[in-house]
Amino acid sequence: MLEEAAREWRAYTEYLTVMKGASPNTVAAYGRDIKDFLSYVQTVPAEVSVADVEGWMVRLSKNENGARSVARKLSAVRGFYRFLMERGWAKDDPTETVPLPKLPQTLPKALSVADVKKLLLAPLGSTPAEVRLRLIIQLLYATGLRVSELCNLTLDAVADGDGVVLRVTGKGGKTRMVPLGDVAAHTLRGYLNDARPKMRGSTGQWVFASPDGHTPLTRVRVFQLLKEAGQRVGVEVAPHHLRHTFATHLLQNDADLRAVQVMLGHASLNTTQIYTKVAGERLRETLEKHHPLSNSKLGAASKRSGTR
């Protein structure tokens, strides 16, 4: 990467951290994508052409990057050019006329009510680590928190009065208040009062601390813990599955879409609306499976009548 390009890259990653409040994971991902782009074009950003951008995208596709991955990388570079133009470091955005790859519409995976019950009733013991795991499962399902939001919960973000409310810091440093239901609130109180003080790292500020106490439990560790819990009861689960399940189950039970948007911390209602499709698909499957006038039941009935 040329020195001038490297300076502008560093300025943008600092801007994302300081001014936009992006998480370290987001800054690292954007930084990698933009660095890859600048290494490919081998010129200063202000002199990059549309053809350079298109060539980079072709190379990404040939390297077996899927459409969603290519679209994410192009979006990262577009954000970089908006930053450069705002500061007068580039006159044009060569990515502006380059279309995003057409993405296949994929619905987020939501667990069934039966699978959630299996997880909630998993045969966990009473050791501090097992109480923590039970709480992690309940919090993710009861609140729809992102795994990064769960990991970064601090003790002073827990307000316990008439009911427990969590002060959650989400994307862009935005804060929202998330209420807890009685079951999760009871488990949280028990964990904070009894289990957490017995765990290594309990002197720090984090609700879920790493053993050294200076940093929160990592996202990777939460993934591992959930995977292990799911294996005990035969359910494949990850943190984002529980977030999707939280939203889908609320909408299946007629929750207000805007209320769900607020609880999830979505900036746009359009992002939340995808869960209405998940809920609708689940209802369609239920109707098809159980209603007497479903196609499958009519087909079976027709076969029986035809053999008589």
Q: Are residues 123 and 81 in the same domain?
A: no
**How many structural domains compose the chain?**
2
Given this model, what pLDDT does residue 8 score?
Answer: 93
Rg (alpha carbons) of the chain, rounded to whole number: 24
Q: Are residues 154 and 74 in the same domain?
A: no
Report whether pLDDT(159) > 50.
yes
User: Coil, helix or strand for 163?
Assistant: coil
Given this model, what pLDDT does residue 298 score?
Answer: 45
Residue 219 designated active-site: no
Half-sphere exposure (CA, 13 Å, Cβ side) for 14?
Answer: 6
Residue 244 designated active-site: no
Q: Are residues 76 and 190 in the same domain?
A: no
User: Coil, helix or strand for 168?
Assistant: strand
Distance CA 275, CA 107 (A): 8
Does a structural domain hold residue 156?
yes
Given this model, what pLDDT does residue 75 score?
Answer: 93
Q: What is the domain range of residue 147?
A: 113-239
Q: Are residues 50 and 128 in the same domain?
A: no
Do 75 and 95 meet the contact criterion of CB atoms below 8 Å apart?
no
- Return the CATH number at 74: 1.10.150
Do 145 and 168 meet the contact criterion of CB atoms below 8 Å apart?
yes
Report whether pLDDT(203) > 50.
yes
Q: Which of 78, 240, 277, 297 is catalytic?
A: 240
Does a structural domain hold residue 158?
yes
Given this model, what pLDDT does residue 283 score?
Answer: 46
Residue 291 designated active-site: no
Does a structural domain hold residue 91?
no
Residue 214 designated active-site: no
Distance CA 157, CA 167 (A): 5
Q: Are residues 119 and 49 in the same domain?
A: no
Q: Are residues 28 and 132 in the same domain?
A: no
Q: Are residues 142 and 212 in the same domain?
A: yes
Q: Are residues 71 and 132 in the same domain?
A: no
pLDDT band, residue 302 (cuts 50/70/90): very low
Dihedral pair phi/psi, residue 307, rounded to 5°: -90, -5
Does a structural domain hold residue 245?
no
Report whether pLDDT(130) > 50.
yes
Closest alpha carbon to 276 in 253, 242, 308: 253
Q: Domain ends where: 186, 210, 239?
A: 239
Distance CA 250, CA 38 (A): 44
Does a structural domain hold residue 261?
no
Q: Which of 243, 244, 249, 282 is catalytic?
A: 243
* Alpha helical stretches, state H, 144-267: 147-151, 182-190, 219-233, 239-252, 257-264
pTM of the predicted model as reported, rounded to 2 decimal places:
0.61
Does a structural domain hold residue 161?
yes
Do 67 and 104 meet the contact criterion of CB atoms below 8 Å apart?
yes
Q: Which of 73, 118, 132, 146 is catalytic?
A: 146
Given this model, what pLDDT does residue 284 score?
Answer: 53
Is the Cα dihedral 63, 69, 70, 76 positive or negative?
negative
Given this model, what pLDDT does residue 304 score?
Answer: 52
Given this model, what pLDDT does residue 275 score?
Answer: 57
Residue 243 designated active-site: yes
Q: Which of 12, 30, 141, 275 is catalytic?
A: 275
- Return the CATH number at 118: 1.10.443.10
Does a structural domain hold residue 171?
yes
Residue 81 designated active-site: no
Q: Are residues 41 and 158 in the same domain?
A: no
Q: Domain ends where: 239, 259, 279?
A: 239
Does a structural domain hold residue 308?
no
Given this model, what pLDDT does residue 169 score?
Answer: 81
Report whether pLDDT(238) > 60.
yes
- DSSP result, 285-308: HHHHHH-TTSHHHHHHHHHHHHT-
Report whether pLDDT(76) > 90.
yes
Q: Are residues 76 and 12 in the same domain?
A: yes
Q: Are residues 70 and 179 in the same domain?
A: no
Q: Which of 171, 176, 219, 277 is catalytic?
A: 171
pLDDT by residue (tens digit) across 9-67?
Answer: 999 999 999 888 888 888 999 999 999 999 999 999 999 999 999 999 999 988 877 88
